Amino acid sequence: MPLTRPTLERIAQALGPDAADGLQTGHTLLCRREAGAFQRAAKSGDELLVACTQESRLFLELADETEGAPGLQERPIRFVNIRETGGWSKAAREAPATVVPKIAALLAAAQLPEPDPVATVSYKSAGRVLVIGAANRALRAADMLADKLDVSLLLTDPRGRVPQTRATAVHAGRVTSLHGWLGAFDVRWQSSNPIDLDLCTRCNACIDVCPEGAISFAYQIDLDKCKSHRDCVRACDAAGAIDFERAPLETDEHFDLVLDLGDAPLIALHQPPQGYLHAGDDESLVRAVLQLRELVGEFEKPKFFQYKAKLCAHSRNERVGCDACIEVCSAQAIVSDANGSGGIIVNPNLCVGCGACTTVCPTGAMAYATPSAPHQGRHIRTLLSTYRRAGGVAAAGAPALLVHSQGEGARLIGELGRLARTSSAIRGVPPRVLPLAVWHTASVGIDLWLAAIAQGAAQVWVLMTHEEAPEYRLAVAAQMRVAQAVLTGLGFSGEHLRLIEADDAPALDKALDASPAQAVKTPATFDVQADKRGTLDLALEHLIAQTAAVPETIGLDKIASPWGSVEIDKQRCTMCLSCVGACPSAALGDNPDRPQLRFIETNCVQCGLCASTCPEQAIALVPRLLLADGGRARRQMRVINEAEPFACVRCGKPFGTLRAIEAIVGRLAGHSMFQGAAAERLKMCSDCRVIDIHTSADEVRIDRL
């Protein structure tokens, strides 16, 4: 839609006085006919924000070629899409004013500072590639790669043809192990074929003499056809390349890149490591070759995560509690270190930055690094506050936040916008729907969702396409059930959280046609915290304050709840307090003066370590959100079990509980060390037990004298 003078004035008013000077002129065909206006702006030295993503390459070239314009390193140019995300829609055609608040919001968010730089992960590839597959396809791939890469072939089929010349290293065998990443793949294979390709001179004598035709120009023997005449062995006597008695050869080599041409991938992950490409058909082979040709040199990517081991609830004392991050990682970049540090280990080389681990982590031990939660929170709050300030609620309704990926999600939204321009049956992105592009949709979780609702969003929708792994969909859906249960329990009507699954524009168009859910009356203004649970507390406090009748408790999904209580079977519990030592979040505690088990519910992350550690199996998790006393009750320490103290039979000092001592006496009744008078030591405190042992030993020595 054209940015007319009245439209620009409304946008400038919403953005504030600082933005007014930069919005004085609107251009309908800026990218082509009015490119001169862009070049004049480029010379000014001011920050440039271009509301066109389709022609971003053209703008960058214009800026680079404009004499007197600062270099792109000195002053980067930012781009924002306001055309397909709202300008081209049914609402924009029928009521242009309804999309102005959205445009203002998108422009405001696009002007925010870039995320702070983070540590990087480096890769180095010399271009040594292993092509794995049948001879004919492997040779075709080698022909397309050999001018750029150092190619080796691993043939997995005895049929086909290999070149007579030794320009390319050729191996044969079955892959037994493949792991690694760009620049650091370790491949192990086993060869049991009688022909050793390293020794083979390609003289073809074996092919000529084989009566069954069991030897092809791949110089491997088809053992199903071979009838053991051994004419080939005699023909190869000089080279000695054929030996039917040879033990299988194990080979282990390192490569920078791997091209897998098998029908089924050797690394069957939704997010395979960088540098590994699978091409099961000819179309994907061409794409893979084009990618591999560019993977030579040194590369860097952000270290997407921050891990705080002290917050991790994975394990204690070799007992496993929370393993949500390990289960959700589709790249298998996270492994348990239960027998070591007690936490988890993340391989930054395998991490693809999906952020799903940060979404499912109940404690905040795993945090997304770029952009960080505070940065993403500022982006969301800017979108919502600018939209509201520009009159968006009155013009188009309470806003919905549409979280989508920068890749396939952005492409799908662009397709929807273009389709809406030409088809009357397609509505396009509604004016109240504010797109939020992220590196990966699984990186935005319950803390940011509830913060957005508290700050005025009526809904948060997460768009997932074929890009996302099944693990991500399940994890996000589970987290949404928890968030929706909280909002419904607090009395907010409607569906606030939804996972949208779409792979084409019509399906997305239909999914976006929904009425707003109930939003808060007064939007919150708090900043999203780096601490996940801190953000959740701020969001809950505001949502509770907006609720007329606050329930005492809200039941939550047991799979994904970050809040809850524990239930103690007092008939089984012996007050051994092993659960206190296992608790990673200080939710459980003891009383140094009395045999008591105390609990602070707001600290509980429902990791289950207390339950798995309890020798009596007396603990059960209760996923819920305690809101009694306006939410203050969950912050207060309460006693959940206590017992009668047991007094030492020698000195009278309390040192345990009656049930615990009775249980110990019962279990050790048949032990040889605790028979007769020695059994009384089990009822003594540690000091008296030592005294009694030495006293008894002295009496024995006197008797012997």
CATH of the domain at 361: 3.30.70.20
Predicted confidence band at 220 (pLDDT cuts at 50, 70, 90)? confident
Instruction: Give strand ranges (E) for 439-509.
Output: 459-464, 497-501
Strand order in the sheet with 400-405: 433-438, 400-405, 459-464, 497-501
Q: Are 369 and 118 in contact (CB under 8 A)?
A: yes
What 3-state DSSP class applies to 161?
Answer: strand
My answer on whether 481 and 604 are in the same domain is no
The angle that helices 135-145 and 282-292 make with each other, rounded to 10 degrees, is: 40
Last residue of a domain, one of 510, 544, 578: 544
- Tell me if 447 sits within 8 A of 441, measured CB to CB: no
Please state, for a pLDDT cut of 90, what percent of the chain lies above it: 64
Q: Does any domain span residue 172?
A: yes
The strand pairing partners of 55, in sequence order, are none
Of the residues 595, 612, 643, the one at which a domain ends = 643
Lowest mean pLDDT among 175-179, 245-249, 588-592, 607-611: 245-249
Q: Region 197-201: what's the mean pLDDT?
A: 85
CATH assignment of the domain containing 576? 3.30.70.3270
Q: What is the mean pLDDT of residues 636-646?
A: 91
The answer to whether residue 69 scores a pLDDT higher than 80 is no
Task: Inform me whether the pLDDT recorded for 675 exceeds 90.
Answer: no
Q: Are residues 355 and 401 in the same domain?
A: no
Q: Is the same domain home to 445 and 462?
A: yes
Residues 470 and 607 in one domain: no
Measured CA distances, 473 to 187, 320, 328, 561, 632 (Å): 32, 24, 10, 16, 34
Query: What pLDDT sits at residue 20?
Result: 45
Query: Per-residue pLDDT tens for 8-48?
Result: 556 666 666 544 444 444 455 555 666 777 777 777 767 77
Is there a domain that residue 26 lies in?
no
- Given a cut of 50, whether residue 1 has pLDDT beyond it is no
* Maximum Cα–Cα distance across the chain: 116
Q: Are residues 326 and 341 in the same domain?
A: yes
Looking at the structure of the chain, the number of domains it has is: 5
Q: Based on the domain organization, do 204 and 244 belong to the same domain? A: yes
617 lies in some domain = yes
Confidence of residue 207 (pLDDT cuts 50, 70, 90): very high
Question: What per-residue confidence (pLDDT) applies to 188?
Answer: 97
Are the CB atoms for 585 and 361 separated by under 8 Å? no
Clarify whether residues 101 and 135 are in a common domain: no
Tell me, yes or no, whether 139 and 203 share the same domain: yes
What is the structure's pLDDT at 705? 47
Instruction: Provide the pairing of β-strand 297-302 with 276-278.
Output: unpaired
Q: Between 200 and 479, whose confidence is greater?
A: 479
Q: What is the mean pLDDT of residues 485-494?
A: 97
User: Which pLDDT does position 698 carry in this prediction?
Assistant: 62
Pairwise CA distance, residues 523 & 308, whole Å = 32
- Reported as type and span, the H/E element at residue 185 is strand 185-191
Residue 77 in domain: no
Residues 395 and 444 in one domain: yes
Find the mean pLDDT for residues 297-319.
94
Residue 454, in any domain of the structure: yes
528 and 480 inside one domain? yes
Q: Is residue 551 part of a domain?
A: no
pLDDT of 692: 86
Give the residue from 368, 389, 417 where a domain finishes. Answer: 368
β partners of residue 306: 367
Q: Is residue 360 part of a domain?
A: yes
Stronger pLDDT, 171 or 461, i.e. the higher one = 461
Q: How confident is the model at residue 246 (pLDDT cuts 50, 70, 90)?
A: confident
Encode pLDDT of 365-396 as tens digits: 999 999 999 999 999 999 999 999 999 999 99
Instruction: Tell whether the model's pLDDT for residue 149 goes beyond 80.
Output: yes
- DSSP string for 320-382: E---HHHHH-TT--EEE-TTTTSSEEE-TTT-----HHHHH-SSSSEEEBTTBHHHHHHHHHH
> What pLDDT is attached to residue 22?
47
| 569 and 634 co-located in one domain | yes
In a domain, 10, yes or no: no
**396 and 439 together in one domain:** yes
Residue 577 has pLDDT above 70, yes or no: yes
Q: What range does the domain containing 656 cover?
A: 646-704
More confident residue, 693 or 698: 693
Mean pLDDT estimate for the chain:
89
Q: Which residues pair with 131 in a beta bridge?
A: 153, 259
Mean pLDDT of 92-98: 89
